[in-house]
Chains A and B, each alone.
Chain A
């Protein structure tokens, strides 16, 4: 079976700065791939290429069997299949939790009001926030807001979920509740690509860990890779980051 995501020698530049210098990487269906690396290593950019937030300049990128960036890509269709959760939650502050979750299903998938409500109840239960349906984002803690953001993505029934440093803005005592939700998704078989600084979490949840350095895939492997780094760069990264 085709992988969910296939990077083939993908290049990306912002002006004169080349951020991705030839990424080759497969994300098999049902797998959890964790991108780690220092800031500026290109891991967030790689993630954002997957749902078309950034366009690649060279190489080929296939997502859900579609080749991206050949000028014919239907970005809206892609985004119905690929959910993304951001570091800063980006909930809609003027809408209740339930309205945040149901907006896209109602407007994009044309789901009826009653069905949307049931959908919201389902995904909010998944992230453990059923009782917050009528709250506004500002009434929630950071961890709760991030879980709503996950529920909002899940409501679109994506085939693939992207997580861009989703715990980096949270107080340490709030990261656990968010990570547990992601772990449960992993157990349910959701294909996911995560960028994170939580090394312990990465080891626990990842089928594949990808260490990025200077815009390249520097080293990759299972969780054991972090215990026995092959390159001095990863060695140094592990030593300073753990």
Chain B
């Protein structure tokens, strides 16, 4: 099939599976860490704003493959021999938390100030204002750009190839080394990436149109 054996194709599909696993790790980790980043970025406390801003600047100012290297070798120098999946997962977490934090900060600030004021005038406490009034509205605004960013996460997991993590890109590289059909192998890999990302793009677009209607 396609000039590749079924086993060879399945090898690529297995790589794609690990790409999905790493994407999920990156998204879950990025969410857990990104939410506090978003909160800190829109905090009233200057110190929190500065620390979180420095974190975001740092992560956004370093290429993802370099983050992968730093995490992977940093951990092993620190005496932690971890599987490539863990190192790649941590690097993806750092990467996506910085971007998601920034996206969500924008969503929190997109809720009109008058909503804060109305909640304040009803004697709600600061946390109550945020949880019951601001957050539900910010979440709704956040859905389209967050789903859109999932595509970036999936594609960028391919950088984990630099630390030898077995994902779709890595499996394609290995397969190419044995088949010497680079164009064919990488085309199939490209198609697999597309199959994962395209539905996400469609979904993001649909959410965006839905949000515009309201």
Task: Spell out A's residues near B (CB within 8 Å).
Answer: 51, 53, 76-77, 79-80, 83-84, 86, 88, 90-94, 103-104, 107-108, 138, 152-153, 156
Cβ distance A95 to chain B, nearest Cβ, rounded Å: 8
Contact between A156 and B118 (Cβ–Cβ < 8 Å)? Answer: no
User: Top 3 closest A-B pairs, CB basis?
Assistant: A90-B118, A104-B122, A79-B123
- Where chain B touches its partner, the secondary structure class is helix
Contact A88 B128 (CB under 8 A): no
Q: Does B181 contact A (CB under 8 A)?
A: no
- How many B residues face the partner with a CB closer than 8 A? 18
Residues of B within 8 A of A104 (CB): 122-124
Distance of A152 Cα from B123 Cα, bound (Å): 12
Q: Report B135-146 CB contacts with A as 1/0, cut-off 8 Å.
A: 011001000000
Does the CB pair B121–A51 fall under 8 Å?
yes
> Is B118 a contact of A79 with CB atoms below 8 Å?
no
Could you name 7 residue pairs across A and B whose Cβ atoms are closer than 8 Å? A76-B125, A84-B121, A92-B118, A92-B133, A107-B132, A156-B122, A156-B123
Given A104-B123, A107-B128, also A90-B214 (CB < 8 A): no
Query: Are B114 and A90 neighbours in the complex by a CB distance under 8 Å?
Result: yes
Give the residues in chain A near B133, CB-CB below 8 Å.
92, 103
Pair B137/A94 contact, Cβ less than 8 Å? yes
Q: Which residues of A contact B124 (CB under 8 A)?
A: 103-104, 107-108
| Residue of chain B at shortest CB distance from A107 | B128
- In the complex where A86-B118, A92-B118, A103-B132 touch, is A108 in contact with B140 (Cβ < 8 A)? no
Asked if B120 CB lies within 8 Å of chain A CBs, one says yes
Report if A53-B123 is in contact (Cβ < 8 Å); known contacts: A92-B133, A94-B137, A103-B132.
no
Residues of B within 8 A of A88 (CB): 114
Beyond the given A108-B122, A138-B214, could you list 19 further A-B residue pairs with CB under 8 A, ordered by the A residue number? A53-B121, A76-B123, A77-B123, A79-B120, A80-B123, A86-B118, A90-B114, A90-B115, A92-B118, A92-B119, A94-B137, A103-B124, A103-B133, A104-B122, A107-B124, A107-B132, A108-B123, A156-B122, A156-B123
